[in-house]
Amino acid sequence: MAASGTGVSWKARLRCALLRGTPQGLQGAGRCASVDAAKSGHSRPGADNPIHSHSPGNSSVSFARVCAMQISFRGKKVVVTGASRGIGWSIALAFATEGADVAICARGAQGLEAAEVELRRHGGAVFAMPCDLAEASAPASFVAGAVKALDGIDILVNNASGIGMRDDESGWRAGIDVDLMATVRATQTAIPFMEKAGGGVIINISSISGFRAVPRTLPYAAVKAALINYTMGQGLALAPKRIRVNAIAPGSIEFPGGVWDNRKASDPQLYQRTLDGIPWGRFGTPEEIARVALFLASEMGSWVTGQTIVVDGGQLLASRTGPSATLPAS
């Protein structure tokens, strides 16, 4: 059934919305362009409210409008920590591609500058700030600077990780200061701005390590478990303020210069053992995490809060039936 006034079925519009930026979506770019052009056929402001999509007479129209329109982030203000490479970079790029104004931070100035240049190519406002989020004042300083530069904040993505792997003082300090406390501090800074604006979205990047015992990386696993619990608590506490809080728990993610790319050379046996423990048969990509972040931040996820979404090709399920190794995703 076609959506009224557009001649485009809701299934086609949903497919184009969800596959935008993927290889399948690029192959069908011509068809999706026609779908995008058909958006001008929408009428009656507010008619895309998903609450009203349950009646048979208007379900396809309303659902199509939600799917086609609400994946766009044009005009939204998105703040991403640890975003010069890997998962954080892919998330920032995905939002910029969908029209958002984006703020990013990272410790390395060179990588940050390159990321800023690429983000600006997509036409939105960009704010980039070098900072070490392990410093107690840095998260609040970055978020406040981003709010000023972008004139607001709609979405906060807490991605930065200290990758605390060794069971010693430095490993625990890196995990607690960056993964946990930087997330708490950035969130505490963002909440008043979101509350004043009438709502917002917070996404915390955890890990499947937070769901299981990982003796090899005790600090990393412990702080990622803490983030999962923090996400549940904040989701409950902030729901009345219309601020949704969710987390993503990636499995083993491979990208140039990342942990698993390095392990391929430094410890090929561990690399292969981990790969063999992933039912999907390959490591994940940062882009696959970014697409889940887009969903959680969009109106398509408007009733999702306090949840942790596992994105791992079945890796966590397999680990519960046999031994496997898990290292940080980023």
Q: Which residues form the domain of 83?
A: 77-319
Q: What is the pLDDT at residue 69?
A: 52
Q: Choose the catalytic residue: 220, 230, 255, 260.
A: 220
Q: Other CB atoms closer than 10 Å to residue 60's CB: what's the count?
A: 18
Claim to verify: residue 264 and residue 127 sit in the same structural domain: yes
Residues 253 and 113 reside in one and the same domain? yes
119 inside domain: yes
Q: Which residue has the tokens 């015992």?
A: 213
269 shares its domain with 236: yes
Cβ pair 217, 165 in contact under 8 A: yes
Whole-number Cα distances in Å, 281 to 117, 137, 278? 35, 42, 6
Residue 269 maps to a domain? yes
Q: How many other β-carbons are positioned within 10 Å of the β-carbon of residue 192?
A: 10
Q: What is the pLDDT of residues 169-210, one digit of tens each?
A: 999 999 999 999 999 999 999 999 999 999 999 999 999 999
pLDDT for 72 equals 86
Examine the domain organization and report whether 97 and 246 are in the same domain. Answer: yes
pTM score: 0.81
Rounded distance between C-alpha atoms, residue 203 and residue 224, angstroms? 13
Paired tokens of 103: 């703020």
For the chain, which ranges sit under pLDDT 70?
1-70, 321-330
Does residue 56 fall inside a structural domain?
yes
Contact 47, 65 (CB under 8 A): yes
293 belongs to a structural domain? yes
Place of tokens 């969908």: 98
Position 16 scores a pLDDT of 57
Question: Is the domain of 156 the same as that of 269?
Answer: yes
Active site residue 220: yes
pLDDT, position 323: 47
Cα–Cα dist 175/167, whole Å: 11
State the pLDDT at residue 65: 58
Q: Assess whether 27 and 93 both reside in one domain.
A: no
Encode burial over 95-113: b for 16+ CB neighbours within 10 A, e otherwise.
bbbbebbbbbbbbeeebbe
φ/ψ of 207, rounded to 5, equals -170, 155
Mark which of 69, 86, 113 sits at the end of a domain: 69
Same domain, 135 and 266: yes
Residue 136 lies in a domain: yes
Check residue 221 and report its DSSP letter: H
- The total number of structural domains that make up the chain: 2
Structure confidence at residue 43 (pLDDT):
36
